[in-house]
A and B are shown apart, each in its own frame.
Chain A
Amino acid sequence: MMKALLEAESVGHSYPGGQLGCEDVSFRLYPGEVLGVVGESGSGKSTLLGCLSGMLEPSNGIVRFDVGGQGLRDVFSLSEPERRLLMRTDWGIVRQNPRDGLRMNVSAGGNVGERLMAVGARNYGNIRNEALDWLTRVEIPSSRVDDLPRTFSGGMQQRVQIARILVSKPRLIFMDEPTGGLDVSVQARLLDLLRGLVRDLGVAAVVVTHDLAVVRLLSDRLMVMRQGRVVETGLTDQVLDDPQHPYSQLLVSSVLQA
């Protein structure tokens, strides 16, 4: 039996004032697996992602991560420096808006190299080569390595953000609407790239999105959320082709067929 990488046990979070974020979410994620979380706006997807990625302490339940291959440990029982180290080495968060995930006043190469320098890389030549390598892998021409992210298109910024995270060879990445705000052809290329990278590197991922096409392409398993609760889980194709819960059926049938 393979060891789980991330485990959520009855995770729930309420905001001050009793506003429900999410409730009673449990699952296990295994190395190399991609889990999709879908649901409409306000269904608790982003709250759940916050709890899983260590940014928001859940009011109920436990999130465990296989820290350093030493077995599952409660993420919120780690000391803050341990958790921060985890976040910039083993984890990566791809944000919907690349402006939140990038340093906009630092060149693309500097952005990609930051994680290397954060864990002690002190050889400029090596850092730069690695940054160039990763930018090439996300299809950014090496001539743009010294340009600031604001001179890049939205799709390119998103790819720089992905390179910036993958450079530390994370074992788990969280993606919050990775294709939000991109036009469809750029979306398709980004998804293609992401799928290739995730498969090649064997990195596990949790993808939160309202776009069913994204999960169809990327994820192995799917969780459908509504009003903070998981209403259906299963293999992606199974849930999308044969939805059982009325809400899943509604969600699937709401997609326009071009």
Chain B
Amino acid sequence: MNSQAFHSVDGTYNFAYLDEQTKRMIRRTLLKAIAVPGYQVPFGGREMPMAYGWGTGGIQITASIIGKDDTLKVIDQGADDTTNAVSIRRFFQRVSGVKTTEETQKATLIQTRHRIPEKQLTENQILVYQVPQPEPLWKLEPREVETRKLHAYSEYGLMHVKLYEDISRHGEIITTYDYPVEVNARHIMSPSPIPKFDNPKMAMMPALQLFGAGREKRIYAIPPYTRVRSLDFDDHPFEIQRFEDPCALCGAEGVFLDEVILDDKGDHMFVCSDSDHCRERRAAGHAGHRASDAASIGFVSSEGEA
């Protein structure tokens, strides 16, 4: 392949920003991560043109695996039009020129922060998570030399100490996001700060799941169709969040909802956190009890049909 083919649309950077050697290094790391599900593989994380905490780990993975034929979707807290999602999508539009979409089923590559899409993903899709803190044990054991041993020898009693503390203080497990999971009956893993509502979706997912932590320089993965179990106690089983009312805009039930404050008089409503899912439902004619307000309060997609 001639080198010209690698050039990005703006002609300044290599295709997808990273140089080919870096991509190769990250791909090797990814292969290792997929081979040992849930194991945190160190990699030579690069400085990216945005600050740590803005998804530099996920961006490096995306940059390493994205191809010209891919269609990229970027979500932040479930929405395609939030700051983080918009800036990362524009970054890849500029440095790779690939197609982007907001529709979950059209994407081949989805980079996400804090959510898993409501729509079931397929074998033809890859989900890339941005991870701020890959080590699930870090709050209880600050020494990394020690946490590595705990993983190596499967000494995971400590993780339950955290859940024990939750129950003893609050009567139930109050960890609601970044809820630790056991992958492939071996490694304990941080699912990144997704709500525990999304934890069951990770189990036996047909799509490949990749996790990148830029600051901590760790990559880990869940291959398709892998067992993922959320930790719990026999007498305090794992439960996901439940919502009393359906989405106020599209009427969806059994989805993760965000509370939206509408004015300074206490008016609020719960709407789908997955903005694409909500838009698609509304387009198909579903309506919640405040659907008519959607436009007036600015709830229209940026690619919006409304």
Contacts and interface: CB of A to CB of B under 8 A. Distances in A.
Contacts of A145: 168
B233 A110 contact: no
B236 A124 contact: yes
B235 A109 contact: no
A113 B161 CA distance: 8
Interface string A101-144: 00101110110011111111011110110000000000000000
Interface stretch (B52-60, B150-158, B196-204): B150-158
Given A103-B140, A123-B235, A80 B158 contact: no
28 contacts: A80-B149, A80-B153, A81-B155, A84-B149, A106-B140, A106-B161, A107-B168, A109-B164, A109-B168, A110-B164, A110-B165, A110-B168, A113-B164, A114-B157, A115-B157, A117-B158, A118-B157, A122-B160, A123-B234, A123-B235, A124-B167, A124-B233, A124-B235, A124-B236, A125-B235, A145-B168, A146-B168, A146-B169
Contacts of B153: 80-81, 84
Interface string A84-112: 10000000000000000001011101100
Contacts of A80: 149, 153
Nearest to B157: A118
Interface string B219-234: 0000000000000011
Interface string B145-180: 000010011010110110011011100000000000
B23 to A, nearest CB: 36
Interface of B: 140, 149, 152-153, 155, 157-158, 160-161, 164-165, 167-169, 233-236
Contacts of B165: 106-107, 110
A114 B169 CA distance: 16
Q: Which 7 A-B pairs have the closest CB atoms?
A: A118-B157, A117-B157, A124-B233, A81-B153, A117-B160, A123-B234, A146-B168
Interface of A: 80-81, 84, 103, 105-107, 109-110, 113-120, 122-125, 127-128, 145-146
Contacts of A122: 160, 233-234
Contacts of A109: 164, 168
Given A103-B140, A117-B160, A118-B158, 16 more contacts: A80-B149, A81-B153, A81-B155, A84-B153, A109-B164, A109-B168, A115-B157, A117-B158, A119-B157, A123-B233, A124-B167, A124-B233, A124-B235, A127-B164, A146-B168, A146-B169
Nearest to B154: A81
A109 B160 CA distance: 13
A109 B168 CA distance: 8
A62 to B, nearest CB: 24
B167 A114 contact: no
Contacts of B168: 107, 109-110, 128, 145-146
A160 B209 CA distance: 43
A123 B152 CA distance: 25
A58 B160 CA distance: 34
Given A103-B140, A106-B140, A124 B157 contact: no
Contacts of A125: 235
Contacts of A146: 168-169
Contacts of B164: 109-110, 113, 117, 124, 127-128
A6 B165 CA distance: 36
A125 B161 CA distance: 13
Contacts of A113: 161, 164
A108 B165 CA distance: 10
A84 B152 CA distance: 12
Contacts of B169: 107, 146
Contacts of A106: 140, 161, 165
Contacts of B236: 124
Contacts of A118: 155, 157-158
Contacts of A123: 233-235
A81 B164 CA distance: 24
Given A106-B165, A114-B161, A124-B233, A84 B155 contact: yes
Given A125-B235, A128-B168, A114 B158 contact: yes
B280 to A, nearest CB: 41
